[in-house]
Amino acid sequence: MDERVVVVGAGPAGLAAAWAIRRAGADPLILERAATVAASWRARHDQLRLNTHRMFSHQPGMRIPRRYGPFPARDDYVAYLEQYAAGMRLRFGTAVDRIDRAGPRWKLNLGDDSLTAAHVVVATGPDAEEPAADLAEQHRELLTRYVDAFQRYDVDELVTLLHDDASFSMPPFEMWLRGADEIRGFWTGFGSPCAGSRLVPVVANGGPAFGQYKPVAGGTRFEPWCIQVPEFRDGRFTHLHHFLDTSLFARFGLPPYLEA
């Protein structure tokens, strides 16, 4: 099954994301492993009330009814979310075991089933399940080698860190490289001005990432270039994302430039 957009999780965040996506013209499929929306809210104690006023607690596009009072009770808030989800495409009892890159799309493993999507929003919440082991710890050696090789711009060493079918993208450009040879060609050709760059570690989507600063002004300082988000498996990289929106640096708490 192919979908344009999939949202994982039918809690407040997933439903809000789906509303925004629908407003933009797409009709996302929402996957929820429980049998209903707002499952985690239903499991909270029955005397729970929101500790923020309803005027500041509503979902985008729909206010919480006045009849629920200034600080809605748990059951009222759940009823509100059920109303909010009306008309959305929901698939309950569907757990997403794994999400992997499949060319320019994403493959979602659903146990005995699977589907692909051009875009995936994961909105399961920080306490939806026991967190996996720290990926940065599991792949510390790989990441350390990558930073060292990239900052020295040792392309031969960088290529050894790639799976043979690794891919490379650079949003917002419609560029997609596939295979270690194509990526090597980019690094030694169009991407060669990245030589001398510096990488600053950050966390993106719960995993390791880097802010890349390129040298300017004769190498006297480094300015933001992109946010690199690597994907890896079995000790080598499977995909390298490069997000060229430099406004992201401030959102990650990164400095506006680095001194040489």
> Which amino acid is residue 103, in one-letter code?
G
Q: What average pLDDT does the segment 10-30 reach?
A: 96
Q: What is the mean pLDDT of the chain?
A: 91
Q: Are 233 and 192 in contact (CB under 8 A)?
A: no
- Cβ-based burial of 108 (10 A; exposed 0-12, middle 13-18, buried ≥19): buried
CB atoms within 10 A of CB 133: 7
The topology under which CATH files domain 135-259 is Nuclear Transport Factor 2; Chain: A, (3.10.450)
230-248 pLDDT per residue, tens: 999 888 999 999 999 999 9
Q: Are 116 and 4 in contact (CB under 8 A)?
A: no
Distance CA 105, CA 251 (A): 26
CATH superfamily name and code, 2-122: FAD/NAD(P)-binding domain (3.50.50.60)
* Domain parsing of the chain, residue ranges: 2-122, 135-259
Q: What average pLDDT does the segment 54-77 reach?
A: 95
- Tell me, what's the pLDDT at 130? 47
Beta carbons within 8 Å of 140's beta carbon, 6+ residues apart: none
In whole angstroms, how far apart are CA 94 and each of 1, 16, 30, 105?
14, 19, 10, 20
98-122 pLDDT per residue, tens: 888 888 899 999 988 999 999 999 9
Report pTM.
0.57
Percent of the chain with pLDDT over 90: 71
Tracing tokens 């729970």 back to the chain, one arrives at: 48
Residue 181 scores a pLDDT above 50: yes
Beta carbons within 8 Å of 251's beta carbon, 6+ residues apart: none
Q: What values do phi and psi take at 114, rounded to 5?
A: -160, 165
Q: Do domains 2-122 and 135-259 have the same CATH topology?
A: no
Better pLDDT: 131 or 54: 54
Residue 157 is given by DSSP the state: H
64-78, 112-126, 141-155, 186-200: least confidently modelled range? 112-126
Tokens coding 66: 């006045």
